[in-house]
Structure 1
Amino acid sequence: MEHKYNLHPAVKGQEQADAPGFRKVNYKAGNVKQQISSVIRSCLRHYRCSSYGELRTLLEAFNVSIEERTGTVDGRSYAGIVYGAMTDDGYGIGTPFKSSKIGKDIGYKALQAYYAKSKEKLKEPDALDHLRHTVKDAMSPYNTRDEFRQRLEADGIDAILRINPTGRIYGITFIDHNAGIVANGSVLGKELSARVFNELFPASQKEEPHPVEQHAEQKGEQRSHTAKSGFGIVDTILDLADTQAYEEQQRQIQRRKKRRLCK
């Protein structure tokens, strides 16, 4: 993909260790943790995503799942990130990794800073103009959904449609590989929102399912499979937290056990 979109990966230090970067994760090839690490860091270097949803869409294009885990344990809040491998058809496979097992630079706090920085960059004058104009030029009531996507792909842009079981478009994200921008349609303007594309490409159109299209229920089931693979329900919630909440809980349990033994 680096060659296809003329991307130039960095080749020193940690970045060199993360090569080959933009290759899709191939679970059967082994060394899954390294593959996932490589994809995540390459995406954070080369693309600007202003939200968790946009980053999730980008990573899934490279067979990497991402899940935010937030909550409280014994009154203490935690926030963490878990990454996993996906198959080409969008299903989670293997055991996921919490971000602390890969590196702090892709943890929850680091991603919040990344979103904020990306948002500021995308607010700069003309930052989204080329993507906005290219998408508008590709829109036509005479095109099908596939023809619309194909026109954008010729310009190095992927259009990721989110579709419910009835075929209605309820979300759309654009990935500009040349400019390194990931943006939801609504970010580009009301005239490029999901509602507009749903009217332009109604569900009555008969087309073969596209690999990037996912139904809401199916997507939820896939992510649930990814999160639970290798973990029990309780372990999933606790072990995915990128904080000390779980460790503190264990210390409290040990203290209670000691008190019971002393009685």
Structure 2
Amino acid sequence: MVAKVISGKSIQGALNYNENKVEEGKASCMLAHKFGGEACDLSFSNKLIRFQKLIGRNPKVKTNALHISLNFDVTEKLEVRKLKAIAQTYMERIGFGEQPYLVYQHTDAAHPHIHIVSTLIRSNGKRIDIHNLGRNQSEKARKEIETEFNLVQAESKSKKKPELQPIEASKAIYGKSETKRTISNTVRWITQRYKYTSLPELNAALRQFNVIANRGSEETQMFKKKGLHYSLLDEDGNKVGIPIKASAIYGKPTLVWLEKQFKLNEALRQPYKDSLKKSIDRILKTPSPPERAGVRRDEAFKKSLAANNIFALFRQNEAGIIYGITFVDNTNKVVFNGSDLGKDYSAKAILERINASSPTGSGGETTSGSDSQNEFEASDSLGIGEVIADLTEAKQFDYSLPDALKRKRKKKKRKGFSQ
């Protein structure tokens, strides 16, 4: 479990954020603690007035609102009753058990999470001191709750590098804002961590998470003006939902920005080149398991690579002829076109080595052409297993600002790809 604690100057802003989610069908108010009624029976005014009465007892205090999110591992299946118990236990242990608070269950991300809204002003008008609340009381409560409720421990997960999960497009295409948020998160994660030297290479990394960067056809104004869109992909690699302009994403991962990264990454990825080649060689030398009917050797090779945290993307034309391959090393976060690794790693050479390593020496129905230096451009899709940052200190935030808790990310592109 990860706890995020934020203090603010607008209780109405914090309340608006969650109530708007309820209106959008992306959240529900499941608990109203010390409100004198059930959550389902309270109006927005009932909730706001309850908080305002306490805040009015000490109008000199400007930072008077508390907004907390408790985030759980994507594998957790938590019932409402258990979420309520977790929220109540947490608030009691951080010293807010006697305060009125509202608990909202949000469904706008891949991982389960709840939001809690409360005020720092007690019934006697005194302000609750939250200095180092995140570092001290919250951290202690978090660890205790993980044990008592048998939750996935945040520390054990953090020892591994956080990984995104492939996006389920059907969960992200219902509205432009949700699609944008999901694409932004994915794009920012990939573009800031991976070393890629071309748009096709970036798309190979993005393709793992059902997102793609697209420049449009060469005849379009978007292409001529170096425009760039990011899109979601469905299971078949088709674009779905509303494409998002690169300039509309936080950090602005536009083509101009990416081209600067291409030059920088050329040198930055070199230290990992030999390591990737050795991994590929080792996998090719490993005896393959007995072949099963309908399983192509190139697909079996890709599965073996995936078991070693390497993603391989065979590029093929409309006729089904394989003409290139791109490798994404997810351990070292680098991307290489096969031919850039050396002639023994081109698509043609890899397929020949795959066939040569089989017991019979005969290949499957895979066909290859020459390995092209030019990579494909992918299409885009999104749905994200969001990576959550654990804030160890309470931070101030003005909830009157729009889109207070949203974060974003960036993307890539591909052409003529088929797996």
TM tier relative to shorter chain: 0.5 to 0.7
Is structure 2 residue 277 aligned with structure 1 residue 132? yes
In the aligned structure 1, how far is the partner of 2:232 from the partner of 2:160?
Answer: 25
- What corresponds to 1:108 in structure 2? 255
Question: Cα distance, 1:159 vs. partner?
Answer: 1.6
* Cα displacement (A) at 1:127: 2.6
For 1:137, the aligned partner's letter is R
| Counterpart residue identity of residue 239, structure 2 | G
Say which SS state the counterpart of residue 252 (structure 2) adopts.
Answer: helix
Of the three residues 82, 89, 100, the one matched with 2:236 is 89
Within the candidate set 364, 367, 387, 1:205 is matched to 364
Which has the higher relative contact order, 1 or 2, with Cα contacts under 8 A spaced 6 or more apart?
2
Residue 265 of structure 2 is aligned to residue 118 of structure 1:
yes
The answer to whether structure 1 residue 25 and structure 2 residue 167 are counterparts is yes
Counterpart-to-counterpart distance in 2, 1:146 and 1:5:
31
Count of aligned residue pairs for this structure pair: 195
The correspondence of residues 141-220 of structure 1 with structure 2, limited to 5 A, is 143=288, 144-164=297-317, 168-201=321-354, 205=364
Note the C-alpha offset of 1:154.
2.2
Deviation by residue 1:84-138 (Cα, 9 ceiling, x = unmatched):
1111221111121111122453111111111111112123xx4311101111111
Distance 2:272 2:340 in 1: 12
Distance 1:109 1:42 in 2: 18
Tell me, yes or no, if the aligned pair for 1:5 and 1:156 is still in contact at 8 Å.
no
1:7 alignment partner, one of 148, 153, 161: 161
Q: Percent identity?
A: 26
Which protein has the larger Cα radius of gyration, Structure 1 or Structure 2? 2
Is the 2:179–2:242 contact (alpha carbons within 8 Å) kept by the matching residues of 1?
A: no
Q: TM-score, normalised by structure 1?
A: 0.64
Following the alignment from structure 2 to structure 1, what is the Cα–Cα distance between the partners of residues 159 and 320? 31
Change (3 A) 1:140 1:130: same
- TM-score, length of structure 2 as denominator length: 0.41
Does the 8 A contact of 2:328 with 2:335 survive in 1? Answer: yes
Measured after TM superposition, the shift of residue 145 of structure 1 is: 2.2
Contact 1:25 1:36 in 2 (8 A): no
1:148 is displaced (CA, Å) by 2.1
Distance 2:363 2:283 in 1: 20
Gaps of 5+ in 2: 1-73, 75-156, 173-177, 289-296, 356-361, 367-375, 382-419
1:57 equivalent to 2:204? Answer: yes
Q: Which amino acid aligns with 2:323?
A: Y
CA deviation vs aligned residue, 1:131-185 (integer Å, no higher than 9, x gap): 0111111125964323322332222112211234665431111111111111111
1:34 maps onto 2:34 in alignment:
no
